[in-house]
Structure 1
Amino acid sequence: MKILFLTNNKISYELFYWLRNIKDQDVIMLQEDINIHKLKEIEPDLIISYNYKYIIKKDIIDYMKKRIINLHISLLPWNRGASPNLWSFLEDTRKGVTIHLIDEGLDTGKILLQKEIIFDESKETLKSSYDKLHKEIVKLFKENWKDIKNDRIVPKPQKGVGTKHFVNDFKNIKSLITSWDINILKLKNLYKNFKGDLNDKRI
């Protein structure tokens, strides 16, 4: 089986090496923006996107015929898009990890696997919660890999409207995050005051 592994983050490397060490699997990592010419050159049986910053285009999706999956550290449909861990705390939405098919929308594809994660916000930081989510999604992937690659999981549509965020949303509040080790409750208080100040200025 030939697998194309798309990533731009070293936190994904553990899973890449795990896949590469499995017998009868040829796993190729790609960090640049994939195009149809490169795809046809590689001819993968499956594409795995994990912490990949580029939007996968329609011609790639059509060519692969639903054989592209994404690993996303939120409980979809909550917190589609950028910085899902951060926004799950700031907006008090459910938290977790999702492995889903990629379609033309922003993290809107059908769900293969999900796991809800509960955090003690008084003890967690942005970094510790981020690390835990990645640990959980890798574990979920490994436990179900045989079923994923053999198409034994029935994809389920996402339910509800959910939420989504873009890179610019993070840029607007970036000043609040002095360190990735900031306590979650402290950050939420800062964000609450920040929103209050914005509302005051609008009046």
Structure 2
Amino acid sequence: WQNKIEADFISSHQPELLISYNYRYIIRPDVISLMSDRIINLHISYLPWNRGAYPNVWSFLKDTPKGVTIHLIDEGLDTGDILYQEKIEFNEAKETLASSYSRLHEKIYNLFIENWEQIKNFKWNRKKQIGSGSINYVKDFERIAHLISDLNWDTPISTLKQKYNKLIEGDKRA
């Protein structure tokens, strides 16, 4: 489903559970209220780090923990209680954004499948996110997108990080 989910859709269909995965819209408060802790998000970051857009990219550029999280959706941006979570280690000299993105999606898919019985029966153990973590918006990515387009998604992450660090150092001097 790629359309915006509206309250009237929820009212007329009365789903038991909503699952957000690569959904590009922020779910509105009226929809969240109607679903009452029955919306989960499959997010390719290790929350509370890298909430928002392009979490894979930022986890490397800002050197934050990497992994995947299944969490409840609340009115914040990726701030809901954590249901399931797993860290992932990467070899940045060999890994690319494309390969790491694929690994993260495979891991979140497997985490979801492994826990589907608990998820569908609402038998999860939720925990609050600890710490402030980080958040990134599309506009943050737009500022550095040229680094990726100058290289490509198959460039080693270590090379991308070198370019990013040079950009940041240049900004500090300006």
Which interval holds the TM-score relative to the shorter structure? over 0.9
Corresponding residue for residue 93 of structure 2? 122
Q: CA deviation at 1:99?
A: 0.1
1:172 aligns with 2:143: yes
Off by >2 Å, runs of 4+ in structure 1: none
Q: CA deviation at 1:79?
A: 0.3
1:143 aligns with 2:114: yes
Task: Return the match for 2:165 from 192, 195, 202.
Answer: 192
Corresponding residue for residue 4 of structure 1? none
CA distance in 2, matches of 1:189, 1:42: 50
Q: CA deviation at 1:31?
A: 1.0
Q: CA deviation at 1:152?
A: 1.2
CA distance in 1, matches of 2:134, 2:155: 24
Which amino acid letter does the alignment assign opposite residue 198 of structure 1? D
Q: TM-score, with normalisation over the residues of structure 1?
A: 0.83
Task: Return the match for 1:71 from 42, 53, 65.
Answer: 42
Percent of aligned pairs sharing the same letter: 54
Q: Give the unaligned 5+ runs of structure 1.
A: 1-29
1:55 aligns with 2:26: yes
- Secondary structure of the residue aligned to 1:142 is helix
1:134 aligns with 2:105: yes
CA distance in 2, matches of 1:199, 1:155: 41
Which amino acid letter does the alignment assign opposite residue 175 of structure 1? H
CA distance in 1, matches of 2:62, 2:16: 38
- Cα deviation digits, residues 19-43 of structure 1 (max 9, x gap): xxxxxxxxxxx21111111122221
Q: CA deviation at 1:135?
A: 0.1
Tell me the matched-pair count. 172
Which amino acid letter does the alignment assign opposite residue 28 of structure 2? K
- Cα deviation digits, residues 106-165 of structure 1 (max 9, x gap): 000000000000000010000000000000000000011001111111210001110000
CA distance in 1, matches of 2:4, 2:164: 34
Q: Which has the higher contact order (CA 8 A, sep 6+)?
A: 2
CA distance in 2, matches of 1:84, 1:72: 8
Q: CA deviation at 1:199?
A: 1.5
CA distance in 2, matches of 1:196, 1:153: 44
CA distance in 2, matches of 1:31, 1:39: 15
Q: TM-score, with normalisation over the residues of structure 2?
A: 0.97
Q: CA deviation at 1:73?
A: 0.2
1:104 aligns with 2:71: no
Q: Give the unaligned 5+ runs of structure 2.
A: none
- Secondary structure of the residue aligned to 1:177 is helix
**Root-mean-square deviation (CA), in Å?**
0.7
1:46 aligns with 2:17: yes
